[in-house]
Chain A
Amino acid sequence: MAAVLESLLREEVSVAAAVRWIARSAQSSEDDPGEAAALSSLRPLRKEFVPFLLNFLREQSSRVLPQGPPTPAKAPGSSAALPGRPGGPPRGGRGARSQLFPPTESSSAAAAEAPSARRGGRRRGPGPGRERGGRGPGGLEEGVGGESQLWPGGRRSRGSGSPGSPSLVRSDPPNLSNLEEFPPVGSVPPGPAGTKPSRRINPTPVSEERSLSKPKTCFTSPPINCVPSSQPSVPDTSPWGHGLPPGCRSLQEEREMLRKERSKQLQQSPSTTCATSELGPPLPSWTGNLTAESADPARVSSRQRLELIALVYSSCIAENLVPNLFLELFFVLQLLTARRMVATKDGDLEPSPGAPDSLESPLFQSVHDCVFFAVQVLEHQFQVLSYLDKGTLKLLAENERLLCFSPALQGRLRAAYEGSVAKVSLAMPPSAQAVSFQPETDNRANFSSDRAFHTFKKQRDVFFEVLREWEDRHEEPGWDFEKGLGSRIRAMMGQLSAACSHSHFVRLFQKQLLQMCQSPGGTGGTVLGEAPDVLSMLGADKLGRLRRLQERLVAPQSSGGPCPPPTFPGCQGFFRDFILSASSFQFNQHLMDSLSLKIRELNSLALPQPEPSDEDGESDVDWQGERRQFAMVLLSLRLLAKFLGFVAFLPYRGPEPPPTRELQDSILALRSQVPPALDVRALLQQGLRARRAVLTVPWLVEFLSLADHIVPLLDYYRSIFTVLLHLHRSLVLSKESEGEMCFLNKLLLLAVLGWLFQIPTVPEDLFFLEEGQLDALEVDTVASELGLDGMPVVDQHLLYTCCPYIGELRKLLASWVSGSSGRSGGFVRKITPTTTTGLGAQPPRTSQGLQAQLAQAFFHNQPPSLRRTVEFVAERIGSNCVKHIKATLVADLVSQAESLLQEQLVTQGQDGGDPAQLLEILCSQLCPHGAQALTQGREFCQKKSPGAVRALLPEETPAAVLSSAENIAVGLATEKACTWLSANITALIRREVKAAVSRTLRAQGPEAAARGERRGCSRACEHHAPLPSHLISEIKDVLSLAVGPRDPEEGVSPDHLEQLLGQLGQTLQCRQFLCPPAEQHLAKCSVDLASLLVADHIPVLGPPSPRGLERGQARRLLHVLLSLWKDDFQVPVPLQLLLSPRNVGLLADTRPREWDLLLFLLRELVEKGLMGRTEIEDCLGSLRDAQWPKDFSEELATLFHLFLAEPHRPEPQLRACELVQTNRGTVLAQS
């Protein structure tokens, strides 16, 4: 490889030719024959060039960047790691490689390489024959032999599951302390379960077994709070962190493993004992005291060589030959902001002008060289830079080194900064807003049984209770999800027995997930297709400000390096932990089904269609909406896909890949039979064909990022990766031609793909696959159609939302400005756009017959908003039509059913027979009427759609266009409504009639009869009557006074009694506040009161009177009561209680006994028709059965006879009788 580089340096080969040579296997006609000859001899090495170059640069820069944040790199492993791929013959590459490190350098290399390893410097050694993670078979040669000493301990032990070598001696210890922020990825020897934060190729030859995937981590995941010797303490920073119960990878354990590992290594490599033992957690702090060396363009050594390599490097970046564009930019910015050179042992810091064209001398001999190189590369990458956020551009433009080395670039950057309008807002975890209850999907009719319905009711509440508790407590130190909520969640899941309940719960779960996690800038509570939050519509200014403040307080400080591993930030953590704690197979399966369905649905959503014509203001307005909708859909898809990936691969996820080839093969054999949870390959292919990669790939990447170690080895997924690699290579940013993907679309895809290739579970060598395969994978896109890819759907907001790690660039630059790197670069935050909710989900296109084709054609040349409007109107009108039919036709049929049923009940008596049979009869009569639904539905759509379309389209729409749009809307709406109606109308009628029948039958019960017809208050009523509760309470007080015990001074005034009864009358006339139970109690209390009056038991206030109330007063009160009973009560009054033994018994206590009032009352009852004579006679008859004192029995018998003796209509006599102040004596005398 070095040979290639050298031939470049010697100008035997032009850079362009070299890059062409690297990028394409075949020779191009543009190539100079001489160049071709020079290169063809090196042909077998072609594939190794890029990894070589990258590793070369990392190594060379190691002396300047020991302290910097790690430039992550993923060391490609051997392709032999992939099954069925025989290891190729050893290459001479190692030999060439060794030339890069001439003996003179070897001593300094020890010092130099360690930091580079720590940073995850790359040594891409792909290709057959190269052992993964090692220097390959070539390692047996001198170079590696030599190096293995330089890498003591080191990664050679990777296969044993304890990779990672402690960093070596650093000549400049203060520089190391940056590790706190940027842990030395290579220097962390993780435990077996653990994570290896570097992907740098291990210089140690490894065995065949070890060539399999092995535990590794995103080296790029320097969790901010990590100390160099410990594992990332944030569980999520390790790829399998999710999926493991907490505690199983405790820091303690890891420390222990680390310790063991270290001692092992010490034994293995005594020569470095000293060096390794110096490593340990307590690294000197350097932050803040590190002053940067100033960089001077005049002091750059070997300019030409640097320029050339910068050009080659930039060309590789431009051709997407590097796996991760932003990682390289990060690296370049690190070089730009390098603080100072680490002194090498031989002190050879002087430029060696004699050897500008060889690789013998170090590439970067000083900070000046680094900065020069960086600026060179940045100049080539200006286009990408110009798309970065304003903050980054500002920092770049203000960088004094950049200004010093290239005022021109600075000028361009400043211009780009000034021209950049996009602001990137901050993210905040939206507060929980519950999924709303929707009767259409959530009411009893959607459940198999009452029990299931009520269980789900409880579950919804438990779910939100758990969610609220999580919200309150998850940030408390020491709080643990599983401990805090696990058992409650499992208890709840345990109740979900029926499959139907599972699907209900999953729907709730998924909706809540989307609601809480999908809208990143979210005011919360908005789901795709739902109305935007009222809050934003109300424009609550204060709240908005408060929210922004809150955002600022809670915004994450770092996304965890330029290539963080997949994490579940914020609320997503709740859902992940919920899934883990629930550990329910059924739930997971239903969730996967539901997620898959939703993904398919959203993925195929008709999104903005190309608008070939005008780019005027109108379309601008439209584009805002289109972009927003695209962003919403994309973000939802990514979220859903991530969770689908999480659940789908959950059973297979483990801390490490299978240890042996045999085991791996058997696992592969098993797994290859399992169909994928979602046919993502087909969706990817469809997406590419329809030129919708910009929608499909980002979510696919999320899905794949959660795959386990085996997945990339499975044929199915391998083929997906191959396609993705091909796509990645094809996304050359500089190509801008007709039909090309838009720049930011490409940038998004490059960013997400680059990130995916760095995921620990993705094999390291995957990126450098044999190109033969790549070339074979041409995707035949439908060339004629300009899909989403060609639309400017991605904006900077979306890019930064999907790839927050791009913000690391800004952070790096900011740390340069602030003089310290890392954590305190606080203003850099996770970036998310202020997207608001999208519009309602659009119905998928219907395509049927010629009419449909014509309609399609019609839309083709119209603005996309027209189509959306029409589809939207059709969808809504269709749906409203169904509702209308329900409310009219079906409701009519139901009332018919009710009257039919009433008839039935009348003819057949109370029970009316078997309800099921009744239902059948009714349905057979009524269901045929359902056919009218279609006619009525058609009419409805015909009537309603045109107006809606007209209202929504611009006034200026040409008449013909308008009428066509109206017609199409009518057609679509009718189709939608009629399809539904014809399929469901019978069932609907049946269901409604059934409900009506059971309602009617229930109403037929004994209580209902008592209810009777109820009158309302009169029209003039102003509802000023006393409240029923007040009256009951007052009457109760009178009763309790009457019954006693009472204080001597207590009593009731007759006026009060009269007033009370007056109020009772008012209340009974104003029905506004009266409910039946209250009226019933009032009735009963009034009867009790009457009995107490009759028995003269009411204590009267005022001068003590032996007879209580005056008889006349009592009689008046009884009169009032009688009229209330007769005219005002609408519930049955329990008058028979007047003759209950208890109430009549009250008379027994009074002496002398006064029977006249009772007799009066009985007569009045009969006269007013309140009680029948026979009824009273029955009551009196049964009274005689009770146990009474003898004299009382006698008197009672007399009364009985007296009452019986009266003629049936003896009004005059009775009245006369009543006027006489009868006492007991007279009454009895009459007998």
Chain B
Amino acid sequence: MILTKAQYDEIAQCLVSVPPTRQSLRKLKQRFPSQSQATLLSIFSQEYQSMLAFSCHCITTWLCLSRYLNGVGRNGAAPVLLELANEVDYAPSLMARIILERFLQEHEETPPSKSVINSMLRDPSQIPDGVLANQVYQCIVNDCCYGPLVDCIKHAIGHEHEVLLRDMLLEKNLSFLDEDQLRAKGYDKTPDFILQVPVAVEGHIIHWIESKASFGDECSHQAYLHDQFWSYWNRFGPGLVIYWYGFIQELDCNRERGILLKACFPTDIVTLCHSVA
């Protein structure tokens, strides 16, 4: 789904200060029925992330911890932590992480290592405090933008689209090297696929294809350009990026320069004719 900047902004406008929860997403779907859930979720999560990045969240963690402790003191079964997160406009998973860190710090002499925290978030059963474990778990399953589960979903989506893309390439009889093969050969930057024989898509030569199972908004596209797409261009020449969940139309401005955006697998593919008479 390719959106104009204006359409995108309309959606983004609705996301301002909406907690990233299941319920919010449901409302969003009702508001924009023509957009797929995946697109909306992708926009939601990216918008939310950039909002978090931009807004300066000076959460006084001590205060939060004490509020949390008070809350669970009153009723350990109530969604104290989740409500606290919603109240201060913070992603529940991130709030859970903060409280967990503080909590462990309180109870243990040494501050817990990141890997311990991560492992506890992945499996709250490891959290020594049963109530906190439940609260953390609740935050994680209710967060639709952050957390180990969401990360896993994103990763899985990315992987699935790579597989889909690979199938399409095979179906089109386009030979390619995939990321693993490239890494094995020692490439320092590896797009998802490098075509062994370049093709032309809509009149543009492409040497590589990168699959992005997300929506291409300005912020993420800039980051991708800088970290990936230009790097690929620098090594392999022009290429194609597929944003499976769509992108903002205006971002597709580097076609002449050698970065082509699509929201699906291209249909207009011209291959090199081997029998040039």
Contacts and interface: CB of A to CB of B under 8 A. Distances in A.
B84 interface: no
A1187 interface: yes
A648 to B, nearest CB: 29
B9 interface: no
A1073 to B, nearest CB: 4
Interface string B120-133: 00111101001001
Which of B82, B138, B156, B160 has the largest number of chain A CB atoms within 10 A? B156
Nearest to A454: B188
B237 A436 contact: yes
Which of A445, A1047, A1073, A1080 has the largest number of chain B CB atoms within 10 A? A1073
A1044 B138 contact: yes
Contacts of A542: 203
Nearest to B133: A1142
A465 B149 contact: no
A1045 B135 CA distance: 11
Which of A453, A542, A1032 has the largest number of chain B CB atoms within 10 A? A1032
A1142 B205 contact: no
B31 interface: no
A453 B189 CA distance: 11
Interface stretch (B60-68, B99-107, B111-119, B228-236): B228-236
B277 to A, nearest CB: 12
A964 interface: no
Interface string B126-163: 01001001100110011000001100111111011001
Contact of A1084 (B123, B163, B203, B231): B123
B157 A1029 contact: yes
Given A538-B270, A1047-B23, A434 B159 contact: no
Nearest to A460: B234
A1039 B141 contact: yes
Contacts of B234: 434, 460-461, 463-464
A1142 B188 contact: no
B20 interface: no
Nearest to A443: B186
Given A437-B187, A535-B205, A1142 B159 contact: no
B235 A1142 contact: no
A1149 interface: yes
Given A538-B200, A1028-B156, A436 B236 contact: yes
B22 interface: yes
B269 to A, nearest CB: 12
A1077 B237 contact: no
B71 interface: no
B155 A1075 contact: yes
Given A1028-B160, A1073-B159, A464 B149 contact: no
Nearest to B213: A1029
B253 interface: no
B132 to A, nearest CB: 10
Given A1044-B138, A1047-B23, A1027 B156 contact: yes
B198 interface: yes
B134 A1040 contact: no
A1127 to B, nearest CB: 21
Interface stretch (A49-57, A236-244, A256-264, A1133-1141): A1133-1141
B168 interface: no
A1093 B200 CA distance: 54
Given A443-B188, A538-B272, A1036 B141 contact: yes
A1231 to B, nearest CB: 26
Contact of A1142 (B134, B152, B198, B272): B134
A669 interface: no
B77 interface: yes
B185 interface: yes
A444 interface: yes
Contacts of B257: 468
A1142 B153 contact: no
B159 A1141 contact: no
Nearest to B76: A1149
A430 to B, nearest CB: 13
Contacts of B23: 1047
Interface residues of A, number: 61
A437 B124 CA distance: 45
A1047 B133 CA distance: 23
Contacts of A1085: 149
A439 B157 CA distance: 30
Interface in B160-179: 160, 163-164, 167
B145 to A, nearest CB: 12
A1078 interface: yes
Given A439-B186, A538-B270, A1075-B155, A1143 B141 contact: no
A537 B270 CA distance: 12
B185 A443 contact: yes
Contacts of B137: 1043, 1142
Contacts of B153: 1029, 1032-1033, 1036
Given A461-B230, A1044-B79, A1187-B130, A1078 B188 contact: no
B210 to A, nearest CB: 15
A1198 interface: no
A115 to B, nearest CB: 49
Contacts of B235: 434, 436-437, 460
A464 B233 contact: yes
Contacts of B233: 434, 464
B160 A1073 contact: yes
A437 B186 CA distance: 10
Contacts of B79: 1044-1045
B142 A1032 contact: no
A1145 interface: yes
A777 interface: no
Given A443-B187, A1078-B156, A433 B138 contact: no
B149 A543 contact: no
Given A540-B203, A1143-B125, A1078 B159 contact: yes
A415 interface: no
A628 to B, nearest CB: 18
A457 interface: yes
Interface in A1058-1103: 1072-1073, 1075, 1077-1078, 1080-1081, 1084-1085
B155 A1078 contact: yes
Which of A454, A525, A538, A543 has the largest number of chain B CB atoms within 10 A? A538
A1149 B156 CA distance: 34
Interface string A939-974: 000000000000000000000000000000000000
B211 to A, nearest CB: 13
Given A525-B237, A1029-B153, A540 B230 contact: no
Given A461-B231, A534-B272, A1040-B142, A1142 B124 contact: yes
A1084 B122 CA distance: 9
B130 A1186 contact: yes
Contact of B156 (A443, A454, A538, A1075): A1075
A1137 B123 contact: yes
A1158 to B, nearest CB: 16
Contacts of A1143: 125
Given A465-B230, A538-B270, 5 more contacts: A434-B233, A434-B237, A1036-B149, A1081-B152, A1141-B133
30 contacts: A434-B237, A436-B236, A436-B237, A437-B187, A437-B189, A439-B187, A443-B188, A457-B189, A461-B234, A538-B272, A540-B200, A543-B203, A1027-B156, A1028-B156, A1028-B159, A1029-B156, A1029-B157, A1033-B153, A1040-B138, A1044-B138, A1045-B79, A1045-B83, A1073-B159, A1073-B164, A1078-B152, A1080-B152, A1084-B122, A1137-B123, A1141-B125, A1143-B125
The 5 A-B residue pairs with the shortest CB-CB distance in the complex, in nearest-first order:
A443-B186, A437-B235, A1140-B125, A1029-B156, A1078-B156
Interface of B: 22-23, 77, 79, 82-83, 122-125, 127, 130, 133-134, 137-138, 141-142, 148-149, 152-157, 159-160, 163-164, 167, 185-189, 198, 200, 203, 205, 230-231, 233-237, 257, 270, 272, 276
